[in-house]
Structure 1
Amino acid sequence: MKIALCDRESVFNDINMNFRTMKDAIKEACRNHADIVVFPESFLTGYSSNPENICTISEDSDIIREIINECRKSEISIIFGFNEVDRKHRYISTLVYDSYEDKTDKYRKTHLGLRESLIFEEGNEIGNVRIDNIKVGINLCLELHIPELFLHQALEGAYIAFILSASPGACGSRRSMWHKTLPARGNDNAMIVMALNSYGYTEKGAKLEGGAAVVSSKGEFIYENYEGNKIHFVELDFDGLVKRRNSKKLNYPLRRRKDLF
């Protein structure tokens, strides 16, 4: 399976510009024979945690329908983030279009940052979806630090856990953060972990530095690049993961004493 991780620039409050960036990235992903193209948290709208200046869009908007139709025509699956608004609430959401089944799923961020909680509602379902005939987990930014989410996704059969963020440099370098956490999430849960950070600026001018990293089910980095503003193509081989899942010794989630929890 080939995954295109896109951290091209996301422009705050310019949905049309971000839509054009997404269309170009979808075409490039198709030219490179990718199966899934992935964008970071809040990519379509741009990221903001400022209650006085927030950009949102409805899941039923024409632009989101156009994105899905573009992927349907190109026969490619997609995962992308946007700030969602419905009749009552706002959410930090991720839309998943599965080209294999021609269907969509949506994940709403369940664990919000302190400033985010002043603007958005929490979602109430853990991010477990099926795409291209495999189960994957969706996690956003802060949720990297909630290990129970990854355990739940592993027990539900997820082969890949995505961590999609819009984290400015002021929150710490992605390389430093990911080197502390990604290996544990992958090794402890026998999953491939793919992390992607947004590139650009928040509405207050804070720099989003981009970056992508992939860790194997052994907790070993198989790809990392922190340049930002590019598309990262990663080929995945599930053989090692399947062997680990079938190992009574190394599939740690199955070795838990359920009577203690």
Structure 2
Amino acid sequence: MKKLFILFIAAATLFIYTGCGKSGSNKDPDYTCATCITKPEAKVANDASFKGVYKGVLIGSTGTIKFDVNNSGTTITATMTIDGVTTTLTATVIAQSGQNPAYISDFNGTLNGQPVTIKFSVGSGGQNPVVVSATVPGHTGITFVLVKETSTALIEAFEGTYETTKPESGTFNIILSRKLALWGALARKNGSTEVDNDANGTISGDNLVREGITIATISGDALAGEFTDGNNKKVTLNGKRTL
């Protein structure tokens, strides 16, 4: 896909910005994601196909997910990490060339000895990748945001937190492409079951920008920032790349 925002959830603003943002003091500036790649895994032959690599973040606890749909062979699997525990899920439907209108399959596996099922759907050209439903014991109400990686645009996932002087705190997980200069996020307040899935914006240099305001700055595999919301409360973000 040429424009990542087509795949990000775009709607209302998660925060209302009224003042200037600034880069924050990174809590771990020397952090490096040892398992993260630096070049796209996606093959050029799959750039306009339902085949390929799809990456995302999740909230319902916190974590990441990556789908491999025949990217470099016949493998169709999903690798999900939630609260630091990783599981590999296997598709039940074989992908066929010319899949129309969409490829849809359950991905089954186990997590902590319990059965897991994730239903994944994507359009024939790789558009609109979504998790239709998810059954993960101990993690109800999981929300995902997914993006298709292409051979020229690496997709990265950051897991993080936010705090405000309201006071309020919660999870803030970001999916982004530095190549396409776009980002999207999921957020959930601690103690709440509601997930905000409408935060998105652009990347200018190393800065995550929303409506002209810098909300965080990326430094290697970490990000941090501060800005003022519409209630004149300071919001602080911190995150680390995990995929």
- TM-score relative to the length of structure 2: 0.33
Answer 1 or 2: higher relative contact order, Cα 8 Å, separation at least 6: 2
- TM-score relative to the length of structure 1: 0.31
Higher helix share: 1
Higher strand share: 2
